[in-house]
Amino acid sequence: MNSKSYRIGIVGAGEISAGAPQLSTGPLANEVIPSHAASLALIPEVEVVGVSDLIPELLDQFKGRWERHWPGLALYTDHKEMVSDLELDIVVVATPDHLHASVVEDSAVAGVKG
């Protein structure tokens, strides 16, 4: 059993990263996990410690949905500030695809390994 715990930061607080689990009636029923946060919440070895988005309202919605699972969640409107402030092991990039490279580069420069 792995006792390592991973500190996660999420860049992008839209529905793909923040969507809450909900019951499905489609052919896959509840086989599809609706968001990155919902997936991460199923992994006991991870803790989401920070979220960044340019839109403060999305940050507030993310915190409202997930703070019970990850108390003390830090919110940022600048991902560079988040990756330099928090000692992250992993950054989840949930931004439009044309922004992925710059977020990954900024995270690597800040010392994030994954």
Cβ–Cβ < 8 Å for 71, 32: no
Nearest 5°: the CA angle 104, 105, 108 is 85
Run of H or E residues at 80: helix 79-85
Tell me, yes or no, whether 82 and 111 share the same domain.
yes
Structural domain of 62:
1-5+33-46+56-75
Q: What is the mean pLDDT of residues 2-22?
A: 85
Q: Is residue 51 part of a domain?
A: no
- Position 72: which residue type? G
Q: Do 98 and 112 have their domain in common?
A: yes
| In-domain check, residue 10 | no
Placement of tokens 């990756």 in the chain: 83
**Do residues 42 and 1 both lie within one domain?**
yes
**pTM listed for this prediction:** 0.86
Q: Are residues 82 and 67 in the same domain?
A: no
- Please tell me the total count of domains within the chain: 2
The confidence band for 25, taking pLDDT boundaries of 50, 70 and 90, is: low
Is 94 found in the same domain as 63? no
Place of tokens 């991870």: 46
Answer yes or no: is 84 within a domain. Answer: yes
Write the burial class of residue 7 (CB in 10 Å: 0-12 exposed, 13-18 middle, 19+ buried). middle
Please indicate, yes or no, whether residues 87 and 113 belong to a single structural domain of this protein.
yes
**Does residue 105 share a domain with residue 69?**
no
List pLDDT tens digits, range 36-95: 999 999 999 999 999 999 999 999 999 999 999 999 999 999 999 999 999 999 999 999
Instruction: Decide: residue 63, CB within 10 A, 0-12 exposed, 13-18 middle, 19+ buried.
Output: middle
